[in-house]
Amino acid sequence: MFETLSDRLAAALKKITGRGVLRPEDLEAGLREVRLALLEADVNFKVVKEFVDRVRNRLQGAEISPGLTAPQTVVKAVDE
């Protein structure tokens, strides 16, 4: 189960690799994949919704820091 979740999350981050800017449509597509991966891993839907909403709020309008890639910026927002 954890391997599948890890693979799905890695695939979601891989979709935004190589971009200099985190566009809103890329963010939404990535968060959709994360949401689906967490729901398939039997995480409570309320927890998933709150998590995705918090990450979305942190990343909307965020600029990618120098030296970081778009996926690293997403991981940083999740970590914070």
Amino acid at 24: P
Task: Give 10-65 pLDDT, tens digit per residue.
Answer: 777 777 766 566 777 878 888 888 888 888 888 899 999 999 999 888 887 777 77
| CATH number of the domain to which 57 belongs | 1.20.120.140
Torsion 39-32-21-60 (CA) sign: negative
Query: Is pLDDT above 70 for 77?
Result: yes
In the prediction, which pLDDT does 50 show? 95
The total number of structural domains in the chain stands at: 1
Q: Which residues of 53-67 are buried (b: 16+ CB within 10 A; e: fewer)?
A: eebeeebeeeebeee
On whether the pTM is more than 0.85, the answer is no
Could you list the residue range(s) of the whole structural domain that residue 63 is in? 2-79
